[in-house]
Chain A
Amino acid sequence: MKKFLKPIEPFLDKGLNIAESFIHTHRTAHFLFGGLFDAFDGLLRSPKETTQTLPFIRNNYDVKRFMGAVLVALVGGWVLPAMYLFGWQCVIPKLLISFIAGTFIVDVLWVIIAREDHISEGGFVTCLFIPAILPPQAPLWLVGLGAALAILFRNILGGVGNNLVNPALFSRLFLTICFPAFLVTGYQMPLAGMQGTYAGLDAVTHATPFTAFKTNGEIPSYLSLLLGTETGSLGETCRLALIISGLWLMKIKVANWRIPVSYLGSVFVLSVFFSLIMGKTVAPPLFQLLSGGLIFGAFFMATDPITTTYNQTAKWIFGAGCGFVTVLIRDFTTLPEGVMYSILLMNLLAIPIQSLMVKIRYRL
């Protein structure tokens, strides 16, 4: 990669310098495109700021690499498996629409209007989440609307670092309320091995494993759930790939290991508990772990560092709370899935949990 980029570097550097000096000397240009240029420049070049206070050297790790790691994990965790399972014709257009609506329209407009300094890479992560948490048969306009809403919502709250709740999940909640029909029925069986024919809307819709369980109590094989040959949202079906990339994220410390462990652990413990009390009317523990968006939510959504607590002990409570709400919704309500609601609720509760834990720890 380095060798490949070497010949174009001088030209690119020169061009960017010329554009930079042009924009900074012309007031109208600066007013309109200043923020946009800085954002674009920020993606290609490192800033020239140097350290002015102790310590005078800094680690070679910035937010860009942090978000880049999440992007890599998401591509490995759901984009590639989904392309195999549902066909690339289903995945690629959704990704394109999501990125265009989210980062290239809403974020760019926001940078121009609100005069932010940079387009945050967090937007790419959010836009990569949106298609994954919608059904495979969701129409393209729904994906675009979802991405636009998520980015708009995040920017209104103040951008990356000020999110109250996970923007992608908030957007999905909004879509669930406004367009329930698309989000309840748009599930299809994966088309693994059927590449080449665009099945798209012609494919037969099929209930998700949880809806099937709630209506007639049937449980699919655990292996098919693990490998992703069952119905579900576009990104959540291939649990094996999600677990592997989630473990990688935990290893490089981008995702905090405490949250997935406590989330999955509490779901398991509580579902064992309820199964013992109520028998076959509630879903068995292993089925709970391997169905719905639990794995995706536990490894990628709940671990979003901004919307969880900062205190490490409080992260255990956060994860356990997510698991508790998830099991309650799954076992005792008519809703087909509870991961989204549980994470959103715990995102809001993270603030009081955090201040409580700080008070306990420092005896305030």
Chain B
Amino acid sequence: MKKETMGFKGGFHLLDAYPLSVCNIIDEISSDSTPETFQFPVFGQKIKHVIVNLCPTEPWALPNWVILKHKTIVFFNMIKEIQKTYFSDARLYLAITEKEDRVVEEARNFAGGEDWIRVFSLSAKYPQDDPVILTKIVLGMDVNFGQDTKPFGILILDPQTISAMHEQGIMRKDVTSRYLALSGTGLRENEIIHVELGTSVEKILKNKVREAVTFRVFINGPLRGKEITDFSQKIDWSVNNIVVLEEKNRKALFPMFKADELAFTTNLIGESRRCVYCNFCDDICPVDLEPALYYHSYVRGEKHKARLYNMGKCIECGLCSFICPSKLELQKIIIECKALGKHE
């Protein structure tokens, strides 16, 4: 099989921009109450395609090695068993990041010439692992953002869910804990933790946050996740990672000479200005939109016009706001304009 990497136009190499070194020791954290158990996914429709997402593109996401444990073959056999038991007539697609060529190699050897499994080596650009882009590249099918893919017969699973399904469905053991990636400038050390479901965020962050630092906590990453202010919130299966960022809400002298100091904090790193038409946002857009058009419509007070420019295709990856040198709140504008459309 020829070695090829598939990708898309736009996107951003977040992994290169924010290299996070993670401590290899996995910390075990147990909850105070009885832990919740993993809910086995139910599929009403007949599943035709199963995509296994082994392509984390966010630096704060859970790395593959935590689940694969450098024993890739064991994991692949797990997949095979699950496929035989649950989706015997579905086809499996392994979407593996190009950065781990050893895993790609092993997967290709494992798949051999068999028909039920396909291996894809995907570029590690963010947001490659988004469901919309993943189905587009792997299956060539168009799904809308936020749409449930199950009616199309597509199921997208992350490695952790696969291993939990295997443990609970085939080994008949209750799964009560999951791996989480903890990272960010507000922490003493980036690490992976093994935590029981139902543990509160407060307990997880105990003794891990740097002293004398104001911080903000984000669940599932600062780009697409959500900020939490209530730390008694409990961890459930949908939480993949926790990012703790330092809140740099003070002025910094000579920012041009110390780029690293402000990076990966909540600081805006620059003044909000008017749009300078620099084309950064449409160069980076993974779905080929022109976000500045929405901004122009918005400031002219024509929110309804913004929806004419293919706004429905937006996957809310946040890259346009991320890259904007004028620090415009493009994603906020897009979400606002989209919400306007739903009410009508």
Contacts and interface: CB of A to CB of B under 8 A. Distances in A.
* Physical interaction between A and B: yes
Interface of A: 1-2, 5, 9, 12-13, 16, 41-42, 44-51, 53-66, 68, 118, 159-162, 253-254, 256, 305-306, 308, 310-312, 358, 362, 364
Contacts of B322: 55, 57-59
A-B complex: 4 closest residue pairs judged by Cβ atoms: A62-B270, A161-B274, A55-B318, A46-B255
Contacts of B248: 48, 50
B278 to A, nearest CB: 5
B251 to A, nearest CB: 4
Given A45-B253, A54-B332, A308-B277, A62 B266 contact: no
Contact of A57 (B259, B266, B283): B266
Given A66-B325, A118-B271, A306-B277, A53 B332 contact: yes
Contact of B256 (A54, A64, A254, A311): A64
Nearest to A66: B325
Interface of B: 17, 216, 218, 222-224, 226-227, 245, 247-259, 262-280, 282-283, 290, 292-293, 296, 308-310, 316, 318-319, 321-327, 329, 331-332
B311 to A, nearest CB: 10
A362 B310 contact: yes
Contacts of A162: 274
A252 B280 CA distance: 11
A48 B256 CA distance: 15
Contact of A47 (B271, B275, B276, B292): B271
Chain A interface mostly: loop
A133 B127 CA distance: 45
Given A5-B254, A5-B257, A56-B227, A63 B325 contact: yes
Contact of B270 (A47, A56, A256): A47
Contacts of A58: 267-270, 321-322, 324, 327
A62 B271 contact: yes
A50 B252 CA distance: 12
A325 B282 CA distance: 29
B277 to A, nearest CB: 5
A59 B274 contact: no
B39 to A, nearest CB: 27
Given A46-B255, A310-B277, 10 more contacts: A49-B268, A50-B267, A58-B324, A62-B327, A63-B270, A63-B276, A65-B325, A161-B274, A256-B279, A305-B276
B276 A57 contact: no
Contact of A160 (B276, B310, B316): B276
Contact of A45 (B251, B273, B282): B251
A201 B198 CA distance: 83
Contacts of B272: 49
Nearest to B214: A50
Contacts of B17: 59
B251 A46 contact: yes
B327 A310 contact: no
Contacts of A310: 277, 279, 290, 292-293, 296
Contacts of A256: 279
Contacts of A61: 269-270, 323, 325
Chain B interface mostly: loop
Contacts of A57: 222-223, 245, 264-266, 322
A60 to B, nearest CB: 5
B321 A54 contact: yes
20 contacts: A13-B251, A45-B251, A47-B251, A49-B268, A53-B331, A54-B224, A54-B316, A54-B321, A55-B318, A56-B218, A56-B266, A57-B322, A58-B324, A60-B263, A161-B273, A161-B276, A254-B278, A310-B292, A311-B290, A312-B279
A55 B268 contact: no
B58 to A, nearest CB: 11
B282 A312 contact: yes
Given A46-B267, A49-B268, A253 B280 contact: yes
Contacts of B224: 54-55
A67 B324 CA distance: 14
B309 A56 contact: no
A44 B266 CA distance: 20
B297 to A, nearest CB: 10
B308 A364 contact: yes
Which of B249, B279, B318, B331 counts the most chain A CB atoms within 10 A? Answer: B279
A254 B257 CA distance: 20
Contacts of B227: 56
B266 A50 contact: yes
Which of A56, A61, A256 counts the most chain B CB atoms within 10 A? Answer: A56
A362 B222 CA distance: 32
B259 A68 contact: no
A284 to B, nearest CB: 34
A154 B229 CA distance: 44
A177 to B, nearest CB: 28
Contact of B253 (A13, A47, A50): A13
A9 B250 CA distance: 14
Contact of A48 (B249, B319, B331): B249
B279 A358 contact: no
Which of A5, A50, A159 counts the most chain B CB atoms within 10 A? Answer: A50
B318 A47 contact: no
A5 B272 CA distance: 26
A305 B279 contact: yes
Contact of A46 (B247, B269, B275, B325): B269
A48 B249 CA distance: 5
Given A46-B269, A56-B245, A12 B253 contact: yes
A96 B324 CA distance: 32
A46 B256 CA distance: 9
Contacts of B262: 46, 60
Nearest to B323: A59
Contacts of A64: 256, 270-271
Contacts of A362: 308-310
Given A53-B329, A362-B308, A65 B256 contact: yes
A250 to B, nearest CB: 12
A54 B223 CA distance: 6
Contacts of B257: 1-2, 5
